[in-house]
Amino acid sequence: MDDEITILELKKILQKFKEDRNWGQFHDPKNLAEAISIEAGELQEKFLWRTVPGILEKLKNDKEYKKEVEDEFADIVIFCLNFANATDIDISKVIKEKIKKNNKKYPPEKAMGVSEKYNKLLLFINLQKRVSVKMLLLIELKKQFLIFFKKK
Residues at the contact surface with Mg ion, assessed by CB under 5 A = 39, 42, 72, 75
Alpha-carbon span 43 to 37, nearest angstrom = 10
Q: How far is the CB of 74 from Mg ion (least distance, A)?
A: 8
Q: How many C-beta atoms lie closer than 10 Å to residue 103's C-beta?
A: 11
In this complex, which beta carbon is closest to Mg ion, that of residue 74 or of residue 114?
A: 74
Q: State CA 63 to chain mean position distance.
A: 24
Could you tell me the smallest distance in angstroms from the CB atom of residue 43 to Mg ion?
Answer: 8
d(CA 121, CA 116): 6
Q: How far apart are CA 122 and CA 106, in angstroms?
A: 10
**Residue 39 or residue 69: which is nearer to Mg ion going by CB?**
39
Q: How far apart are CA 142 and CA 123, in angstroms?
A: 29
Closest approach of Mg ion to the CB of residue 14, in Å: 15
78 vs 121, beta carbon nearer Mg ion? 78
- Considering beta carbons, is residue 42 or 116 the nearer one to Mg ion? 42
C-beta nearest to Mg ion: residue? 75
Residue 13 C-beta: closest distance to Mg ion, Å: 18
Phi–psi pair at 88, nearest 5 degrees: 55, 45
